């Protein structure tokens, strides 16, 4: 079945443009409500969180109307990180959780992510059924069984207590000066407060959301702002989150960036030494650097690769019984602590290693030498299928032959934006640039 609404991470698009309209959100809420209330009882509830985008308030109201129209009771958490939804869906005994966020995208985009009663993102099958119900329409509840909505004021504090509990009892961050960049997003209050309560000296960045400045020259996709703050304040480390705080980048004391691969390498090695790395493996996507794979192999560990998307990482982790995984982009999934990527928890684990070892961040963010990697994006218009064009396919085949044995090429359509992503890795940087540019040129000509 071709999916019209759901991508790799829920429904996403430009606000007030299909499918991200208030009308569609209302219908989506009604369909999800009917899906999770099929037994007809009145004890069902949904928790809804959001980030700080202006449109998130509109979608919150629309989803609430949709859910209550089918008899679901709605618990409104306000601005909270995405991982808080996974936590609170289970702790509040809800049937479904919803996060309104477009993650690292600019403010004019938004998205709707669903979590099941176990706190994990929904399966493809469940999303397909909800999508079909959304497009077909559902029968509303009778007037006397319409659901109720209630605002929950302490959701952020419940999440903060859980985050702090992921550190060993008694471990404090005294003496550490930490820059925390919250991207003017969902963690703008929770993250600085957690770090302060654990004893760190906190330099907050990106903590003044106004509805349109989320991810605007800040956060995990724009680390220059945090890097400047680290250097200017003489901080020991920087933690840069994205708009919904499920991603993280770490900056050392010189402002140099460590991506998700380096963070996962550090944690995998540490957990393996402690006998905590379940299955002797790390789960990551096809985007993770070859250097990470070689690093793990050198320690007798495995790298299990999946399709791009943290939901696919989590699915493989659950299938194989693994407890550590993530993406180069900064999703770090530790199922001992959370059901999805949690940038703040990952940041705390890194700080714990600094405290435990006494080493500076620069020593802990360079576990392996990366194989040169290049990624370029080509935007295309709706309805275009550039990867199906014969001339593009011919260039891709020729490039793969040129790089065979020296590296690899990965070309894919983004699941969240109208982009073709062209990525390659190769020790020969001249060849690397040549094959990427040739493929990008062919795709650009096709679109």
Residues 6+ apart with CB under 8 A from 269: 295, 299, 367
- Segment (H or E) for 345: helix 343-357
Helix (H, G, I), strand (E, B) or coil at 155: helix
Q: Could you list the active site residues? A: 103
**Of 200, 194, 186, residue with least CA distance to 83:** 186
142 Cβ contact list (under 8 Å, min separation 6): none
| Cα diameter, the chain | 69
In sequence order, what are the residues at sequence separation of 6 or more whose Cβ sits closer than 8 angstroms to the Cβ of residue 290? 371, 407, 408, 425
Cβ contact 46:93 at 8 Å = no
Q: Residue 325 phi/psi, 5° resolution?
A: -165, 180
The answer for residues whose C-beta is within 8 angstroms of residue 299's C-beta and 6 or more apart is 269, 272
Which tokens is 206 given? 């990106």
Pure H helices in 21-180:
22-36, 54-69, 82-91, 124-136, 155-164
CA–CA gap between residue 72 and residue 95 (Å, rounded):
9
Spatial separation of the C-alpha atoms in residues 245 and 251, rounded to whole Å = 16
Name beta bridge partners: 423.
Answer: 375, 410
The residue behind tokens 């119900």 is: 133
């Amino acid at each position: 079945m071709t999916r019209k609404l759901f991508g790799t991470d829920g429904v996403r698009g430009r606000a007030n443009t299909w499918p991200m309209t208030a009308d569609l959100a209302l219908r989506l809420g009604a369909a999800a409500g009917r899906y999770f209330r099929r037994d007809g009882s009145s004890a069902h509830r949904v928790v809804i969180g959001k980030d700080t985008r202006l449109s998130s308030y509109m979608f919150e109201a629309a989803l609430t109307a949709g859910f209550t129209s089918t008899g679901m009771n709605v618990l409104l958490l306000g601005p909270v990180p995405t991982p808080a939804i996974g936590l609170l869906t289970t702790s509040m005994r809800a049937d479904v959780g919803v996060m309104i966020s477009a993650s690292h995208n600019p403010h004019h985009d938004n998205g709707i992510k669903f979590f099941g009663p176990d706190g994990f993102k929904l399966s493809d099958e469940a999303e397909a059924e909800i999508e079909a119900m959304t497009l077909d329409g559902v029968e509303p509840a009778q007037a006397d069984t319409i659901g109720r909505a209630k605002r929950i004021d302490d959701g952020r504090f419940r999440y903060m207590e859980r985050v702090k509990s992921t550190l060993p009892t008694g471990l404090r961050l005294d003496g550490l000066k930490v820059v925390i960049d919250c991207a003017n997003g969902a963690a703008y209050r929770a993250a600085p407060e957690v770090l302060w309560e654990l004893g760190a000296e906190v330099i907050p960045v990106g903590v003044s959301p106004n509805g349109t400045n989320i991810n605007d020259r800040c956060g995990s996709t724009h680390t220059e702002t945090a890097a400047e703050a680290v250097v200017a304040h003489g901080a020991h480390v920087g933690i840069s989150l994205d708009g919904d705080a499920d991603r993280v980048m770490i900056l050392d004391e010189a402002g140099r960036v460590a991506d998700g691969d380096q963070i996962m390498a550090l944690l995998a090695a540490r957990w393996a030494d402690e006998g905590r790395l379940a299955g002797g493996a790390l789960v990551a996507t096809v985007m993770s650097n070859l250097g990470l794979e070689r690093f793990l192999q050198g320690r007798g560990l495995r790298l299990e690769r999946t399709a791009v998307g943290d939901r696919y990482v989590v699915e493989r982790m659950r299938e194989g019984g693994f407890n550590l995984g993530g993406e180069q982009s900064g999703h770090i999934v530790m199922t001992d602590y959370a059901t999805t990527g949690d940038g703040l928890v990952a940041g705390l684990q890194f700080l714990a290693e600094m405290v435990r070892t006494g080493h500076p961040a620069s020593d802990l963010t360079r576990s392996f030498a990366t194989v040169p990697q290049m990624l370029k994006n080509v935007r295309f218009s709706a309805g275009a299928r550039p990867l199906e064009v014969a001339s593009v396919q011919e260039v891709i085949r020729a490039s793969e032959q040129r790089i065979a044995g020296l590296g690899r090429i990965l070309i894919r359509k983004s699941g969240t934006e109208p982009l073709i992503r062209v990525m390659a890795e190769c020790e020969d940087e001249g060849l690397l640039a040549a094959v990427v540019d040739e493929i990008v040129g062919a795709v650009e000509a096709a679109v």
